[in-house]
Amino acid sequence: MQFEILKKDNTSRARLGRCQTAHGVLHTPAFIPVGTQATVKAMTPEELRDMGAEIILANTYHLYLRPGHERIRRLGGLHRFMHWEHPLLTDSGGFQVFSLNSLVKVSEEGVEFQSHLDGSRHFITPEKAIAIQSALGADIIMCLDECTPYPASHEEAECSLQRTLNWSRRCRESHRASHQALFGIVQGGMYADLRRRGVETLAEIGFDGYALGGLSVGENKEIMARVIGETAPLLPENLPRYVMGVGMPGDIIQAVREGVDMFDCVLPTRNARNGTLFTRWGKMTIKNARYAEDSSPIEPECPCYTCRNYSRAYLRHLYFAEEILAFRLNTIHNLHFYLAFIREMRQAIAEDRMDGFMQDFNSRWEPSVEPERNPSLLSLPTGKRISLAARI
By annotation, the residues acting in catalysis are: 91, 264
Q: For the purposes of burial, counting CB atoms within 10 Å of the CB of 209, is it exposed (0-12), middle (13-18) or buried (19 or more)?
A: buried
Neighbour order of strands in the sheet with 111-114: 105-106, 111-114, 121-124
Mark 304-339 as b/e (b = at least 16 C-beta within 10 Å).
bbbbeebbbebbbbbbeeeeeebbbbbbbbbbbbbb
Query: How far apart, in whole angstroms, are the C-alpha atoms of residue 331 and residue 335?
Result: 6
List Cβ neighbours of 1 (8 Å cut-off, separation of 6 or more): 19, 20, 21, 22, 139, 140, 181, 208, 209
Q: Which of 334, 337, 320, 340 is nearest to 380 (CA)?
A: 320
Neighbours of 45 (CB within 10 A): 17
CB distance 231 to 189 below 8 Å? no
Q: Please state the φ and ψ torsions of residue 251, each to the nearest 5 degrees.
A: -70, -35
